[in-house]
Amino acid sequence: MTGGSPKRLAVLAGCNYPNSGHELQGCINDVLAMRQLLVKRLGFNEGDIELLIDAPNSKVLPTGSNIKKALLGMIERAKAGDILFFHFSGHGTRYPLHKDKRRQEEAVVPCDFNLINDVDFRHIVNRLPVDATLTILSDSCHSGGLIDKEKEQIGPSTVAPRSSPSPSLVATPKAIHFDSVLQHLTSVTNLATTDIGAHLLHAFSEDASLEFQPSTGAPLPQKLKADEGILLSGCQANEYSADMSPSEGGGKAHGAFTSAVLEVMGETKPEEWLSNKEVVMRARGVLKEEGFRQQHPCLYCSDENAAAAFLGMRAAAARDKVSGQQLK
């Protein structure tokens, strides 16, 4: 690691899709609450956090191009030892490959429907400097496996008991079905094809996913060495993440997974720290207690990063213990 303290950089993208047939309520609230956690608890500077939301008068909309530009810009600033974080709250989707319809790919859905998929996230992670880490927290449907070929640490094989949903909250799945994505893109491109790549290239050209670009180069290797990509997903690849709205007055709309992570962090004393694995397992416990039957957060990363402190939390805890600060 280079001299001095590591930089802590973040990109937060919240998509509520206002005035559309796919509107959500809690995604902007999610990233605003996450920004508070990063600053108050985890040692991030507000100036090093880029916020992309589709709210009125937003400076930067969370389009596919803007999100990827922000991520690549963050990586370009990074050096060895730096801690990078990307939080996405919004819709996810799965789509069949045009050449092999039996295979499904996972993607997040930016506000302009310019999908960012697991191949894109893998290429982004591959550009990290040595010993820098990129943690992705995706509160979206079908988010398990969003970093292509990353190792499963907590996933479908992790057993979690089922329970009953809470009647005090109204849940909306954070998923847009492939047919709806295709219908939206067809209205933009007027192409008579079910090939999602053709629509994305026609609508977004060089800003479309690398998976569909004609000059992406050699395919990704089937096996990759352990890297510094860390994915905390709101659910398994075949599941839905929930956008929660209070059924009566009081409280704010929120994503179930983001809220669970924030609750886990809020229950941790300033001098304590949690590993990435502990954060996900405790978030699973929170969702179980709140009555979620079919949403199981997952963790994908190397063995070393599974045991590593969530977003450098260990260093922050040690600092707080020495200084005696009581952060809220």
Catalytic center residues: 91, 141
Query: 240 and 150 in contact (C-beta within 8 Å)?
Result: no
Distance CA 231, CA 126 (A): 14
- 259's enclosing H/E stretch is helix 256-266
Distance CA 128, CA 126 (A): 6
Q: How many degrees, rounded to 5, is the angle at CA 157 between CA 118 and CA 94?
A: 30
94: tokens are 């799965």
Among 297, 294, 305, 173, which Cα is nearest to 233's?
A: 297
Amino acid in the structure at residue 314: R
Residue 38 — φ and ψ, nearest 5°? -60, -40
Distance CA 40, CA 85 (A): 15
Distance CA 10, CA 47 (A): 10
Find all residues with CB under 8 Å of 75, minimum gap 6, and list them: 84, 124, 127, 128, 129, 134
- 266's enclosing H/E stretch is helix 256-266
DSSP state for residue 295 in the 8-state scheme: -
Query: 235 and 154 in contact (C-beta within 8 Å)?
Result: no
Query: 203 and 104 in contact (C-beta within 8 Å)?
Result: no
Query: 84 and 135 in contact (C-beta within 8 Å)?
Result: yes
